[in-house]
Every structure is written in C-alpha cells, then in structure tokens.
Structure 1
Amino acid sequence: MELDSEQVVKRIEELRKDYSCSQATLMGICEVGGMPTEELALLAKGFSGGIGGTFSEGTCGAVTGAVMALGFLGADEKQIISASKKLFNEFKDKYESVTCGYISKDGDDKSPCVEVCLFAGEKVCEYLKE
C-alpha cells in the first residue's frame, strides 16, 4: 500500500491538537489509508503517556500508534514485523530512546511530541512502499 506522506503528516499534526501521540499517529496514518478513525481512537487511548501514563517505563505513543497502523495496513505478517523492528531501531537512533518519559521528561515537556508522531508517520509511509 502506498500512502501520501504529506497527507499523513498534515493529518497527524491536526489530530495531535486533540489526541494523544498514540491516537494521532494511528488515526492519521489509517485515515489516509481509508480506515474510519473513531474506533481507532478508542483502541489507542490506553497507550497514551507511554502505556497508561507510565511515562518513564512505557513506550512512546508515536511508536505504538505507528506499529498498530502497520498491523492494519501492512501486506503480510513478515512485512509488518520487519517494518516494526525497523521503526523501533530508527526511532531509537534518532531520539536516543523509545521511552515516553525520556522523550517528554515524564510528561512535563510535550514539545517533542508532534515531531516524534510525524517522524513515525513518515516512516510508516516509507515502509509500506517497500
């Protein structure tokens, strides 16, 4: 499946104003991919704040949202697993961690949140083209 990364980025930016990182990332990617988003917002809700607000122990919602989107939109299990691992590694290389608390200073500084969501969204678009 091929997604327009510019549309994904625009939609994630819009959604991030009202939704958490996991929700905005999942919804933005899947909406551009043609999926309805109301149920997706509910699915991703528990991943907010590094999974249930655990921050320093939980994975960044941009990563979890992107991995869920890969599961919905990926071609097959092998592609989904490979792309998920690649996303994890590239995200960690760029941001030094995949932990929400590290990135957001335990939720006290959410200024990097939009950027990490956009990065994850663009990577999913890239991986789905492969």
Structure 2
Amino acid sequence: MDLDSKEVVAKIEEFRKTKSCSQATLMGICAVAGLPTEELALLAKGFSGGIGGTFSEGTCGAVTGAVMALGLLGEDENKIISASKRLFDEFKDEYGSVTCGYISKDGDDKSPCVEVCLYTGDKVCKYLKE
C-alpha cells in the first residue's frame, strides 16, 4: 500500500490537537488510506497514556496506534509482524524506550508526543510500501 507520508503527517497533526497519541496515529494513517476514523478513535481510546494511563508501565500510544494501523492496512501477516517488530526496535533506538512514561515523564511533559506520532506514522508509510 502506498500512502503519502506528508498527508499522513498532516492528518496526525490535525487529530493530535484533540486526540491521544494512539488515536491520532491510528486515525491519521487510516484516514489517508480511506478508512472511517470515528470507530478507530474508539478502538484506540484505551491505549492512551501508555495503555489506560499506566504511563511508566505502558507502551507509547504512538507505537500502539501504528501497530494497529499496520494490522488494518497490511496484507501479509508475517510482514505485519515483522514490520511491528522493526517499528518497536527502531522507535526504541530513536527515543531510548517505547514506554510512555519514559517519553512523557509520566505524563507531565507531553511535548515529545506529536513528534513520536509523526515518527511512527512516517515509518508505517515506509513499511507498507515494502
């Protein structure tokens, strides 16, 4: 699947104004793919704040949203699993952790949140092209 990364980034930025990282990432990627976003917002709601607001224990919502998008848009299960692992590893290398609390200082500093959403959205676009 060939998604325009610039369109995905713009959609994620738009959704992140009112939605959590998991919601904005999933919705932004899938909106560009032509999927309806209202139900996706509901699906991703519980992943906010590192899964249910666990912050220091939970996975970053940008990662969970991106993995959900890979599952919805990817065609081959093995490629989806491989891309999900690759995303996890590359994200961890880039940001030092995949834990929401590490990135957001347990929710006290959400300044990196848009950046991590855009990072994962761009990665999903690349992976889906391969």
Q: TM-score range by the shorter chain?
A: over 0.9
State the distance in 2 between where 1:128 and 1:79 align: 9
Counterpart-to-counterpart distance in 2, 1:109 and 1:117: 15
Task: Give the aligned partner of residue 66 of structure 1.
Answer: 66
Partner of 1:34: 34
- Residue 76 of structure 1 and its aligned partner are, at CA, apart by 1.1
In 2, Cα distance between equivalents of 1:63 and 1:2? 20
1:40-93 deviation line (CA, Å, top 9, x unaligned): 000000000000000000000000000000000001101100000000000000
Map 1:95-106; keep pairs closer than 5 Å: 95-106=95-106
TM-score, with structure 1 as normaliser: 1.00
Cα distance in structure 2, aligned partners of 1:5 and 1:16: 16
**Unpaired segments ≥5 residues, structure 2:** none
Q: Which amino acid aligns with 2:34?
A: G
* Equivalent residue, structure 1, for 2:118: 118
User: 1:20-31 residue pairs with structure 2 within 5 A?
Assistant: 20-31=20-31
Q: Could you state the TM-score of these two structures normalised by the residue count of structure 2? A: 1.00
Equivalent residue, structure 2, for 1:87: 87
Distance 1:2 1:101 in 2: 33
What do you get for the CA RMSD once the two structures are aligned?
A: 0.3
Find the aligned partners of 2:90 and 2:126 in 1 and give their Cα distance: 12
Partner of 2:77: 77
What stretches of structure 1 of length at least 5 have no aligned partner?
Answer: none
**What is the aligned partner in structure 1 of residue 52 from structure 2?**
52
CA distance in 1, matches of 2:83, 2:33: 17
Superposed displacement of residue 27, structure 1 = 0.2
Q: How far apart, CA to CA, are the structure 1 residues paired with 2:69 and 2:4?
A: 14
Runs in 1 of length 4+ with deviation above 6 angstroms? Answer: none
